[in-house]
Amino acid sequence: MRVNFTVNGRPQEADDVWEGESLLYVLRERLGLPGSKNACEQGECGSCTVRLDGVPVCSCLVAAGQVEGREVVTVEGLADFAKQRAEHGGCASGACGTSLQDAQQWAAKGQDSQTGEGTELSPIQQAFIDAGAVQCGFCTPGLLVAADEMLENNPNPTDADIREALSGNLCRCTGYEKIMDAVRLAAARQGEAV
Amino acid sequence: MDFLRPASWEEALAAKAEHPTAVPIAGGTDVMVEINFDHRRPEYLLDLNRIGDLTEWEVGEDSVRLGASVPYTRIMEHLRAELPGLALASHTVASPQIRNRGGVGGNLGTASPAGDAHPALLAAGAEVEVESAERGTRLIPIDEFYTGVKRNALAADELIRAVHIKKADGPQQYSKVGTRNAMVIAVCAFGLALHPETRTVRTGIGSAAPTPVRAKAAEEFLNAALEEGGFWDNGKIITPSVAKQFAELCSGACNPIDDVRGTASYRRHAVGVMARRTLTWTWESYRGTAARTEGVA
């Protein structure tokens, strides 16, 4: 079957989708967006977390056919998504967003603190780098999407809030303390900016 | 496999009538796991996400009509006052990502003895609204809904539309045993609701019998003990011996198995502990409320 939906602010079309296929599979294998990671395929690990109509979900548990006509934001579009939110309070579908090609080639080249070189990241992405919250990196995309959404709704989270918001994301390197540091850092910077 | 995407409830019923083997999918948190792991290859998937009614709820005079697909997140955020037990239970479901997708309709459809909503529904009192194209709507009392391990009273052509849950008329509590606070299937769970209007107590036990069950002997014992001691009126602390007996009867209502999550004897013991604790918590809350009401009057 064919599935039409919006990914990172741009309309996309996936063809030859099997009816039992997950959104995660469509993103990774049909659209070439491997940022959302495939680990447990049962909603345990959170590494495939994306925003579906704004809400964080495990994309491995969403059937491809269920996203017809709906909006998905993946980690590849997170930098632009956060930028649009900060500048315009959001983005009308199609008017901005990240093209499929840009998303496919997206890489986390954060700004170097000394030289100032590199592409712009979302505040949560920059905070993960600055706090050393990335080890093997496999859980990172899911954590970024989940943490970004929490900071959108709760700009001043307590440690308990952060733990709860990230309770569906597992890190097998067990680098949770640095991840907590990163989210606190992003929240603090967000507070300064306002 | 065919993917059916009804745009309305009527279309969904028609599709289910035409294809009784169709597997309904809403949040997908159970169905997609089975498909991803190749445990299930349904001929038809029946997507319910386009039916907006299913994610709405109405607060009535005596009960809440909760759409089958209202996500747990919404229940936690919006129905804590009316359905405190279910709101607490919802908060123990998996993780934020899962709570954003899953709802009570799926819990009922799957009818796993470990489903988190069941003890809260049993304790509060509820009816499941199901419908078929041919025979229309019927309300199934929650006590008659669970018929076996992962079996329920639904006919092949029926779909779950909503759950009518009694609004709380007193304190409710929910307790669940697991290895951490998030992402656990209950080792066992316990729900308790005080109903001061009828001067009764209702319970629900999860993951400690082939189906979710009420501890009816324990309820009867406690109802009689509370009545006899005049507790509902004098608001006294529950006598420790009464709480102990109640806990033992709750343990006795279990019919658990040994499995990877825990042993049968552990489950029996833990249900007793949760029964005593939730009784104490709710009763303390009831006494507090009763004292305040008296003070005002």
Digit-coded pLDDT (tens) for B93-103: 999 999 999 99
A65 touches chain B (CB under 8 A): yes
The residue that leads in pLDDT, B289 or A46, is A46
Residue B292: partners with Cβ closer than 8 Å, 6 or more residues away: none
Residues B69-115: pLDDT tens digits?
Answer: 999 999 999 999 999 999 999 999 999 999 999 999 999 999 999 99
A4 touches chain B (CB under 8 A): no
User: Chain B closest CA to A118's CA: distance in Å?
Assistant: 32
User: Chain A closest CA to B11's CA: distance in Å?
Assistant: 16
* pLDDT over 90, % of chain A: 80
Identify all chain A residues contacting B36, using CB atoms and an 8 Å cutoff: 22, 41-42, 60
Residue B229 lies in a domain: yes
Report the chain A residue with the minimal C-alpha distance to residue B181: A167
Identify which of A61, A65, A169 has the shortest CB distance to residue B29: A61
Last residue of a domain, one of B166, B183, B202: B166
Residue B37 lies in a domain: no
pLDDT the model gives residue B293: 58
pLDDT the model gives residue A89: 74
Residue B49 lies in a domain: no
Full strand arrangement of the beta sheet holding B63-67? B57-59, B63-67, B159-166, B126-132, B136-141
What is chain B's alpha carbon radius of gyration, rounded to the nearest angstrom? 20
pLDDT score of A118 more than 70: no
Residue B108 lies in a domain: yes
- List alpha helices for A113-175, DSSP H: 123-131, 140-153, 159-165
Residue A185 lies in a domain: yes
* φ/ψ bin of B159: left (φ > 0), alpha (ψ from -120 to 50), beta (otherwise): beta
User: Chain A closest CA to B7's CA: distance in Å?
Assistant: 12
Say yes or no: A68 and A132 in one domain.
no
CA nearest to B104, candidates B64, B134, B131, B47: B64
With residues binned 3-state (H G I as helix, E B as strand, rest as coil), the percentages for chain B, rounded to 5, are 40, 25, 35
pLDDT score of A7 more than 90: yes
Inter-chain CB proximity A43 and B97 less than 8 Å: yes
B63: β partners: B166
Say yes or no: A129 and A189 in one domain.
yes
pLDDT score of B32 more than 80: yes
Q: How confident is the model at residue B297 (pLDDT cuts 50, 70, 90)?
A: very low
- Phi, psi values for residue A19, rounded to 5°: -65, -25
Residue A161 lies in a domain: yes
Rounded Cα gap, residues A105 and A82, in angstroms: 18
Say yes or no: A74 and A134 in one domain.
no
Say yes or no: B250 and B288 in one domain.
yes
pLDDT the model gives residue B289: 80
Say yes or no: B138 and B247 in one domain.
no
What number of CA atoms fall less than 13 Å from residue B278's CA on the CB side? 34
Residue A29 lies in a domain: yes
Rounded Cα gap, residues A59 and B110, in angstroms: 21
pLDDT score of A117 more than 70: no
Residues 18-47 of A with CB under 8 A from B: 18-20, 22, 41-44, 46
Say yes or no: B188 and B255 in one domain.
yes
pLDDT score of A116 more than 70: no
Q: Give the mutation candidate from B29, B54, B95, B183 for the A interface (greatest A CB count, under 10 A).
A: B95
- List alpha helices for A3-77, DSSP H: 23-25
Identify all chain A residues contacting B182, using CB atoms and an 8 Å cutoff: 164, 167-168
Average pLDDT, chain A: 92
Say yes or no: B207 and B250 in one domain.
yes
pLDDT score of A119 more than 80: no
Last residue of a domain, one of B166, B191, B217: B166
Residue A115 lies in a domain: no
Inter-chain CB proximity A41 and B33 less than 8 Å: yes
Identify which of A43, A66, A165 has the shortest CB distance to residue B33: A43
Residues A35-48, mean pLDDT to the nearest whole number: 97
Inter-chain CB proximity B101 and A58 less than 8 Å: yes
With beta carbons less than 8 A apart as the criterion, state whether A124 and A183 touch: yes
Q: How confident is the model at residue A155 (pLDDT cuts 50, 70, 90)?
A: very high
For every residue of A43-60, DSSP letters joined together read SSS-TTEEEETTEEEEGG
A58: β partners: A49
Q: What is the CATH number of the domain that holds B254?
A: 3.30.390.50
Inter-chain CB proximity A61 and B27 less than 8 Å: yes
Q: How confident is the model at residue A180 (pLDDT cuts 50, 70, 90)?
A: very high
Last residue of a domain, one of A53, A78, A103: A78
The β-bridge relationship of strands B44-47 and B2-4 is: parallel
Residue B34 lies in a domain: no
Say yes or no: A130 and A183 in one domain.
yes
Residue A108 lies in a domain: no
Residue B176 lies in a domain: yes
User: Chain B closest CA to A37's CA: distance in Å?
Assistant: 15
Identify which of A19, A49, A61 has the shortest CB distance to residue B3: A19
Residues B122-179: pLDDT tens digits?
Answer: 999 999 999 999 999 999 999 999 999 999 999 999 999 999 999 999 999 999 999 9
Rounded Cα gap, residues B236 and B140, in angstroms: 37
Residue A102 lies in a domain: no
Rounded Cα gap, residues B89 and B107, in angstroms: 12
Residue A107 lies in a domain: no
Inter-chain CB proximity A43 and B47 less than 8 Å: no
Q: Among the listed ranges A2-16, A80-94, B5-19, B185-199, which one has the minimum average pLDDT value?
A: A80-94
Residues 76-135 of A with CB under 8 A from B: none
Query: Which range marks the domain in which residue A59 is found?
Result: 3-78
- Pairs across A and B, CB distance < 8 A: 88
Q: How confident is the model at residue A95 (pLDDT cuts 50, 70, 90)?
A: low
- Phi, psi values for residue A96, rounded to 5°: -135, -140
Residues B35-42, mean pLDDT to the nearest whole number: 97
Q: What is the CATH number of the domain that holds B107?
A: 3.30.465.10
Say yes or no: B66 and B138 in one domain.
yes
Full strand arrangement of the beta sheet holding B188-195? B172-177, B188-195, B200-206
Average pLDDT, chain B: 96
Say yes or no: A9 and A74 in one domain.
yes
Residue B42 lies in a domain: no
pLDDT score of A169 more than 60: yes
Residues B190-227: pLDDT tens digits?
Answer: 999 999 999 999 999 999 999 999 999 999 999 999 99
Residues A60-84: pLDDT tens digits?
Answer: 999 999 999 999 999 999 999 999 9
Q: What is the CATH number of the domain that holds A168?
A: 1.10.150.120
Number of domains in chain A: 2
Say yes or no: A129 and A188 in one domain.
yes
Last residue of a domain, one of A57, A78, A99: A78
Identify which of A19, A42, A58 has the shortest CB distance to residue B1: A19
Number of domains in chain B: 2
Residue B111: partners with Cβ closer than 8 Å, 6 or more residues away: B145, B146, B147, B150, B151, B152, B211
A164 touches chain B (CB under 8 A): yes
Inter-chain CB proximity B32 and A61 less than 8 Å: yes
Residue A87 lies in a domain: no
pLDDT score of B291 more than 70: no
Query: Which range marks the domain in which residue B290 is found?
Result: 172-295
Residues B272-276, mean pLDDT to the nearest whole number: 98
Please state the pTM of the whole predicted model.
Answer: 0.94
Residue B273 lies in a domain: yes
Say yes or no: B283 and B227 in one domain.
yes
Q: How many CB atoms neighbour CB B244 within 10 A?
A: 14
Say yes or no: B227 and B241 in one domain.
yes
Say yes or no: B193 and B212 in one domain.
yes
Last residue of a domain, one of A78, A111, A136: A78
Inter-chain CB proximity A63 and B28 less than 8 Å: yes
pLDDT score of B237 more than 90: yes
The β-bridge relationship of strands B136-141 and B146-148 is: unpaired
Say yes or no: B228 and B286 in one domain.
yes
Tokens 């989270």 belong to A157
